[in-house]
Structure 1
């Protein structure tokens, strides 16, 4: 039995967690710990331009994000499950286009699910129900986008407890501008053949539930899950998110 269990554990796919804009890899800590305790190998990718991977915003690009994830996946011997949050949906899509053989499943968590030529900017403009637009400050001279401090708790953790809402504004980062406006190139032959799952967030203020549904209608996925959360389920419902990720990984 012990040998059988051991081989079963090793058969679980690696799960690579890719954060979104205004975040770093620390957002995944609760999810990462639970996935590891359930026997999954986990990689929490830190994208360039964060405190943990400092870089001038002028040097940060969508291609660099893609290549950073591909470098992390180079250590895996079997296709991995890529989980992308928010803007991370565009990033993991670019990875699947570049190396579909490295990806078992793409899991979009409250994420942009792009089509060829889409960028975060172009997609956000199609989401009239999102609340983040008026709260974004574009600082072109510094090459960053900044979320209005006073709006951060309501945007990202509208469903969170008071303690989380109080702490969250200081954890939201300034975001390099260039990747947000860069169109992603996707083909049916590469990105199109990769398995996809979507995790909807029914109280989301950043990417509206209506727009999440519209994206999934345009790019069908194998399975959908819905969490009764705002934009950051890894903070407000980590157990529910882990359950969805593990179901997607099967």
Structure 2
């Protein structure tokens, strides 16, 4: 008895397999892993990103967390730290990886990531401001802060901000730190924030960042924090409008949503990256 050729069956399997792989390749919801570079703000340190970093990593993304000079374990003399110091540290972190990155800056680091965009625009895929200051002509973070009638960061004796001109730092009355920066975080998280608190170098608050077409044309996003006691929501919205940012998200949180709602921050960042959840 003559056996039938198996060739038609093999051809059929090959055609079906090619169809399956073709569908997978063209799936618009499938994107390669992105590289997120996360930058903390003033009076904070890399540890504040721990939960978001872990969640992004679990989602298959690459994450780099920057430690700015004078923060965390870095012991650089505060008197020599400038906005350029922050910019250069972030550039160095980006240069340690390949390809374009999604650069996320919180609070004061909104200025720093803008300076990075100016210097290496070809390495930045998206620029994300999380409750961040945004550069505007002739203005610096401290000058923007003076226009904020909702902030609780007010110089002593009326408020908790202590200006230490001898050491060139801005300090805080300790029992005001958690209520202002992360009132909606857990007791353990609040205790960690206070335990890791360090006075912040004053110079970066008083320095401008000059922006050009590199910044104007950048792919920019803003994440509002609606219950923010550091940078009021009205100032956030004014800065967004001035910068012409149209892609915005909102979180009903304090100034530090990565501490109180890290899952929500992660979800927004993945959405910005175009990662299907």
Give me the TM-score of the superposition, normalised by structure 2.
0.84
Looking at structure 1, the residues matched to 51 and 113 of structure 2 have their Cα atoms a distance apart, in angstroms, of 21
Q: 1:164 aligns with which of 189, 192, 199?
A: 189
Q: 1:108 aligns with which of 109, 129, 132?
A: 129
CA RMSD of aligned residues (A): 2.0
What does residue range 128-143 of structure 1 map to in structure 2 within 5 Å?
128-133=149-154, 134-143=159-168
Q: Who is 2:231 aligned against?
A: 207
**1:209 shift after superposition:** 1.0
> Any unmatched runs of 5+ in structure 2?
1-19
> Any unmatched runs of 5+ in structure 1?
none
Q: How many residue pairs were aligned?
A: 247
Deviations 1:42-77 (A, max 9, x none): 110001112422100122111111011111111333
Q: Who is 1:146 aligned against?
A: 171
Q: 1:14 aligns with which of 35, 56, 80?
A: 35
Looking at structure 1, the residues matched to 231 and 107 of structure 2 have their Cα atoms a distance apart, in angstroms, of 8
Q: Secondary structure at the match of 2:37?
A: strand
Q: 1:23 aligns with which of 44, 50, 55?
A: 44
The 8 Å contact of residues 135 and 208 in structure 2, kept in 1 or not, is answered as no
**1:200 shift after superposition:** 0.6
Q: 1:95 aligns with which of 94, 110, 116?
A: 116
Looking at structure 2, the residues matched to 66 and 208 of structure 1 have their Cα atoms a distance apart, in angstroms, of 25
Q: Secondary structure at the match of 2:104?
A: strand
Per the alignment, do residues 99 and 117 of structure 1 end up closer, same or farther by CA in structure 2, a change over 3 Å counting? farther
Looking at structure 2, the residues matched to 31 and 150 of structure 1 have their Cα atoms a distance apart, in angstroms, of 26
Looking at structure 2, the residues matched to 107 and 166 of structure 1 have their Cα atoms a distance apart, in angstroms, of 28
Q: 1:175 aligns with which of 177, 184, 200?
A: 200
Q: 2:266 aligns with which of 239, 242, 248?
A: 242
State yes or no: 1:54 paired with 2:75. yes
Looking at structure 2, the residues matched to 39 and 82 of structure 1 have their Cα atoms a distance apart, in angstroms, of 17
**1:223 shift after superposition:** 1.3
Give me the TM-score of the superposition, normalised by structure 1.
0.92
Deviations 1:89-145 (A, max 9, x none): 111011011111111111111111222332111111111111112221111111111
